[in-house]
Amino acid sequence: MPSQESGGSFEVFGQEARAHEPRLSRRALIEAAAIGAAGMAARGLAAEAPAAGAAAGPNERIRVAIMGVNGRGAALARGFAADSRAEVVTLCDVDHRVAGPLAESMGKDGGRAPKVEGDIRRVLDDATVDVLAVAAPNHWHAPATILGCRAGKHVYVEKPCSHTAEEGELAVAAAREHGRVVTMGTQRRSWPAIQEGIGKVLDGTLGEVRFCRNWYAARRGSIGSVQPSAPPDWLDWTLWQGPAPDRPFKSNVVHYNWHWHWHWGNGELGNNGVHGLDLARWGLAVDFPLTVTATGGRFYFQDDQETPDTMNVAYTFPGGKMITWEGLSCTPDGMDHTGFGAWFIGTEASLVLTSGGGWRLTDPKGKVIEEGEGPGGDSSHIGNFLDCVSSGGTPTADISEAHRSTLLCHLGNIAYRTSGSLTTRPEDGRIVGNAEAEALWGREYRDGWNIRG
């Protein structure tokens, strides 16, 4: 998360902020609106991928800045630092307590301690930074990606790649306009056993596959109900909000519970559902849906959370295919008695991708035929991204694929928040004939942060 000097204002940085607003060409915007014409990497995605070229010379390491180092950002910082091709040079966060200790710790681990920064715009201005890794809250994901591309950075953005459907289209356009490699942190795309399992779904091992159910289950508690208050002195609340319209600070929002507020987060569907939906879409070889239906509610706690704690979403696709997602935020016993999975049902066999990163193939009566396991974590996904930054290749979770999977989350949430059912265009996922739902396609931005250009 970026930060601003304590006591500053956006007027101080207004000109600087406007300089970083992306000016996307009409051609790039048309490409973003028409991304449904391209398939997944295995079906010709390379044709629309950037030819980025090497970010550094043959004897130089790729210089990485991390935006947001609470939680996932700290893990990414150590993950990039563990790859010999990369050097983490900057840690940027609006929480003034966290970046300094992490930088010091990384320096003691044998490397050079990264520089600590509080304002993402200064990182964008640093021409020596090759890669921006974005691990700030969801409302920052696409704006930071777009600003990073405009500033000449390749981008590793945590999931989901956008806070709204429109932002996903703009992020694809920015990556293509500026020839940047952009990947999303759906790490399973790079896990060997997951790739092996998806291969079995696609090669006919299961027979004809038209349906995938996936789920996420956890035991989350109440966040309580609090009144607005002054932000703590260690937090730059103005820049934490960044492009999002101003809201009063509440102590039960930072640092994780913003997920459960529509203004900054996308609920469990956007938080963890995107992983399963990405696998389901990959295995069924589908892009954009025809219909989306959603139901659910807040059943467990009466508190400040806005997003559902229990949810079911169903998607139908061209070719007679369907995906369902079940989200249980307060009861950890999901399908198959696990917290996560993607279960492909075929005419001859079924295959489940497990929470541990493996797969299990069963016959129609549930007898296990074959199983596979493999390593997980961040290293293979970071490695794939760095490979592509160096070569100009297409990453396994390229921004075009990332947008398709993230869009399913947005459509499910929009359906839940409006009529419960949507009709969408199969070429790009756009909502048809529902003005209330279409109004949630994008959002408003604070002055100086309008990423629409």
Instruction: Determine the pLDDT at residue 26.
Output: 41
Instruction: Determine the pLDDT at residue 336.
Output: 87
What is the enclosing helix (H) or strand (E) of 322? Answer: strand 321-328
Distances (CA, A) of 198 to 168, 183, 230, 366: 25, 19, 49, 19
Non-local CB neighbours of 264 within 8 Å, separated by 6+ positions: 137, 138, 139, 163, 241, 244, 253, 258
Distance, in Å, from the CA atom of 244 to the CA atom of 437, rounded to the nearest integer, reads 20
Non-local CB neighbours of 7 within 8 Å, separated by 6+ positions: none
Task: List the chain residues with pLDDT less than 70.
Answer: 1-59
Instruction: Determine the pLDDT at residue 266.
Output: 98
- For 159-290, where are the E strands, in sequence order? 182-184, 209-217
- 258-288: burial string, b at 16+ Cβ within 10 Å, e else: bbbbeebbbbbbbbbbbbbbbbbbbbbbbbb
Instruction: Determine the pLDDT at residue 53.
Output: 53
- CA nearest 317: which of 291, 350, 342, 352? 291
CA quadruple 26, 28, 31, 32: dihedral, nearest 10: -100
Distance, in Å, from the CA atom of 283 to the CA atom of 275, rounded to the nearest integer, reads 13
Q: Over the stretch 169-181, which tens digit does the pLDDT of each residue have?
A: 999 999 999 999 9
The domains located in the chain, with CATH, are 10-187+380-396 (3.40.50.720), 190-224+238-375+409-438 (3.30.360.10)
Helix 399-417 to helix 165-178 angle (10° resolution) is 170
Instruction: For residue 362, list its beta bridge partners.
Output: 350, 368
Phi, psi of 295 (to 5 degrees): -145, 160
Q: Over the stretch 21-39, which tens digit does the pLDDT of each residue have?
A: 334 444 444 444 444 333 3
